[in-house]
Amino acid sequence: MAAVLKTPGEIDLMDRANRIVHQVLDAVGERMIPGVKTRELDSLAERIIRDAGGVPAFLRYRGYPATLCISVNDVIVHGIPGENPLQEGDIVGIDCGVFYKGYCGDAARTFAVGRVSEEAKRLLRVTEEALKLGVAQVRPGGRVEDIGSAVQRHAESHGYSVVREFTGHGVGTSLHEDPQVPNFGSPGKGPKLKPGMVLAIEPMVNAGAPGVKMDPDGWTARTEDGSLSAHFEYSVAVTPSGARVLGIQI
């Protein structure tokens, strides 16, 4: 199926939705304190979203039971908030989706709890850089795999690997729309980027091997080798002049 193109007015609404998402990420990022339970972070997020007039986009999506995905250490994505307290040295991926006036915002960051290892810091830095390099590929006439190839090149040049089983995606009136946006690929390949497309670009980078294993809960995706994993995501509109990252000034 072809990607749904959005008008400038719709893109402004998606910017509003993503502003709420980034407000949540800022607030949750302030609570990255040893002893805080991930369920408490989820409650904080839901309160901020509802106070802003939004609706959590992940809650009940395909039966998902929470507002946030909270993915600690070797969890790649889709960790379910619960009673586990954060510990000094953890890295914690926070992924948040919000519907506002019918439009979806989707973004993620990975945070450090207190002092973390130099290796963890480097993984966070490289994954965020990979996201920004992917965004820098966005322009009308470009191709979807230009994004993934930039992400992959940056991650692999640091000895890391990109996850294949999960991808970025189009986003709009639904959380997931066409096209898929893989974190790997070849320049010049894949669907053509057009003004009005909005893409959730979301590198998932493993410190070790790319393999994924699922927990029995059916959601929590971990690195097969137990290595750390990081995840950063922006919702990005393709405009006539290039990328517009939604909800945040970068």
> Which residues contribute to the site for Co ion (CB under 5 A)?
106, 200
Question: Which of Co ion, ligand MF3, none sits in contact with 61, Cβ below 5 to 8 A by type?
Answer: ligand MF3
* Cis amide bond preceding 210, omega within 30: no
The answer to whether residue 200 forms part of the interface with ligand MF3 (CB under 6 A) is: yes
Query: Residue 98 or 200: which CB sits closer to Co ion?
Result: 200
Q: Which stretch binds ligand MF3 (CB under 6 A): 37-45, 54-62, 177-185, 186-194?
A: 54-62
Q: Identify the bridge partners of residue 229 per DSSP, sorted by sequence position.
A: 206
Instruction: Give the pairing type, strands 68-72 and 91-100.
Output: antiparallel
Q: State the DSSP H helix or E strand holding residue 98, giving kind and residue range, or none if neither.
A: strand 91-100
> How near is the Cβ of 233 to ligand MF3 at its closest, in Å?
6
How many other C-beta atoms can be found within 10 angstroms of the C-beta atom of residue 162? 23
User: Which one of ligand MF3, Co ion, none is in contact with 193 (Cβ closer than 5 to 8 A by kind)?
Assistant: none
| CA-based radius of gyration for the chain | 17
> What's the closest the beta carbon of residue 55 comes to ligand MF3, in angstroms?
13
| Partner interacting with residue 58 (select from Co ion, ligand MF3, none; CB below 5-8 Å by kind) | ligand MF3
Burial label, 249 (beta-carbon count in 10 A; 0-12, 13-18, 19+): exposed
Contact residues for ligand MF3, defined by CB under 6 A: 58, 61-62, 64, 69, 78, 95, 106, 108, 169, 175, 200, 202, 233
